[in-house]
Chains A and B, each alone.
Chain A
Amino acid sequence: MHKKIMYICVVMSNSKLYKGSLNTIILKLLNEQDKMYGYEITQKVKELTKGELKITEGALYPALHKLEAQGLLDVEVAKVDNRLRKYYKLTENGTKETANKLEELAEYIKTMQTLVNPKLA
């Protein structure tokens, strides 16, 4: 199973297929962390995937703002060091949507596996 996931990750980072899964990744991380700020999200993904998957800055903020506009994320601002930091956290709707998105992604990965590697599936 672990191998399968690594395989998908490598495919995604190479061909930027992850773009469609970006929202799911953000929601999933916030589901586990309570609240996070933009830079923290990019670092966390890098750390979890050991550098295989890098969320680009140019894609992260548009995705965060879109999710906020959809009412899935809420914001909080705090003064950290000598600057303001914007934190994102899931709303009630966001929590529900996370479960849906994860299910969709799992289904997608399963389908992809039957296509790219029928033996494994």
Chain B
Amino acid sequence: MKLTESQIQDLYAFTRKHFVEHYDLQTELVDHLANDIETMWQDKPKLSFEDARDKAFKKFGIFGFMEAIEQKSKAMNKRYMRYFWSELKLWFRVPQILATLSLFCVFYLSFSSSYMGVLSVVFYVVIAIWSIYKSIQLNRHFRGRKEKSNKKWLLEEMIYKQAGGTTLLFMSQIYTVFIISDNFSGNALAILFFAIIFTLLTLFNYISFELIPNKAEDLLNETYPEFSL
């Protein structure tokens, strides 16, 4: 005996009820539960769908789907970081390295001037405002996509929402910039350090807010063979 379409939909709802938010993991678990239920029906054809479903779920242990959710999110985080680093590496190769070096020079020369204190704050605020603007824009875009397809993919959420985490971290350090810029103006090593940090921050934010979201469709198709099914 095979499961009907509405029973499959019921299994999707069941995984959502047990905290599996993302469609990719839901699909895998639904297939697993469905297979187990169909196997049980071979021996006990009279067993009700609900009882068979609960029995299949019990085999996942007391933590239910939690361990699978946790591991999936760790694995996807790893994948996201792999995409991120491969984008970052490009900025240290020809021709992008020219842009990276120019950016570094702009920061270095600005911080070498007597306006270091003011300029560091100005740059900081500009990057922060742009990041917040992009973060809000991406979040809105993500909500729109979700409403349209009614599905949420883990990597999609990371691409559109994880970027926001970087901004928060970035913003939380604003006070430190004020302190450091006052104490270290004129110190060659501090200028070099500041120029490197600002160059990297600009690159990190540009990659996570602009480049990766622009490639979202390709990355999602590469990660999820079922994305376009």
Q: What is the interface of chain A, defined by CB distance below 8 A to chain B?
A: 37-39, 43, 56-59, 61-63, 65-66, 68-69, 75-77, 79-86
Contact = CB atoms under 8 A, between A and B. Distances in A.
Contact of A84 (B27, B39, B71): B27
B43 interface: no
A61 B4 CA distance: 25
5 contacts: A37-B31, A39-B32, A57-B59, A58-B60, A62-B67
A39 B35 CA distance: 7
B32 A38 contact: yes
Given A81-B2, A82-B8, A65 B68 contact: yes
Interface in B56-74: 59-61, 63-64, 67-68, 70-72, 74
B226 A57 contact: no
Contact of B61 (A58, A63, A76): A58
A37 B35 CA distance: 10
A104 B28 CA distance: 30
Contact of B3 (A43, A66, A82): A82
A59 B75 CA distance: 15
A62 B75 CA distance: 9
Given A58-B63, A77-B226, A86 B31 contact: yes
Given A57-B32, A77-B225, A82-B3, A65 B72 contact: yes
B61 A86 contact: no
A84 B79 contact: no
B75 A68 contact: yes
B85 to A, nearest CB: 14
B175 to A, nearest CB: 36
A66 B75 contact: yes
B18 interface: no
Given A39-B35, A76-B225, A58 B68 contact: yes
Given A81-B2, A82-B8, A69 B75 contact: yes
B5 interface: yes
Contacts of A83: 3, 8, 27, 30-31, 34
B16 interface: no
Given A84-B27, A86-B28, A65 B71 contact: yes
A4 B117 CA distance: 73
B63 A39 contact: no
A61 B71 CA distance: 8
B210 interface: no
A30 B172 CA distance: 47
Contacts of B78: 69
B59 A56 contact: yes
B86 to A, nearest CB: 13
